[in-house]
């Protein structure tokens, strides 16, 4: 399933790299793209909340955008 995340606190390329690394370390997550303020991922796991929780651990507040 593809989901979009809105991520607060990202201001530079270093932040993008940090978010990408945090997401790539999560089992069942495939990172499609990461830009300042957002990320697109595909996941096969228990919950997309695990991606939100992983980002919180590295200092970013994130939430899943509702599907259209």
What gap in Å lies between CA 58 and CA 22, rounded to an integer? 7
| Structural domains of the chain sorted by starting position, each given as residue range(s) with its CATH number in brackets | 2-62 (3.30.70.100)
State pLDDT tens for residues 7-46: 999 999 999 999 999 999 998 889 999 999 999 999 887 6
For residues 35 and 51, is the Cβ–Cβ distance under 8 A? Answer: no
* Confidence at 67, pLDDT banded by 50, 70, 90: low
The pTM (predicted TM-score) of the whole model is 0.89
Question: Which pLDDT score is estimated for 19?
Answer: 97
């Amino acid at each position: 399933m593809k989901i979009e995340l809105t991520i607060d606190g990202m201001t530079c390329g270093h932040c993008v790299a940090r978010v990408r690394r945090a997401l790539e370390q999560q089992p069942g997550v495939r990172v499609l793209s990461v830009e300042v303020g957002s990320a697109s991922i595909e996941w096969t796991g228990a919950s997309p909340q695990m991606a939100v929780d992983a980002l919180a651990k590295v200092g970013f507040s994130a939430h899943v955008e509702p599907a259209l």
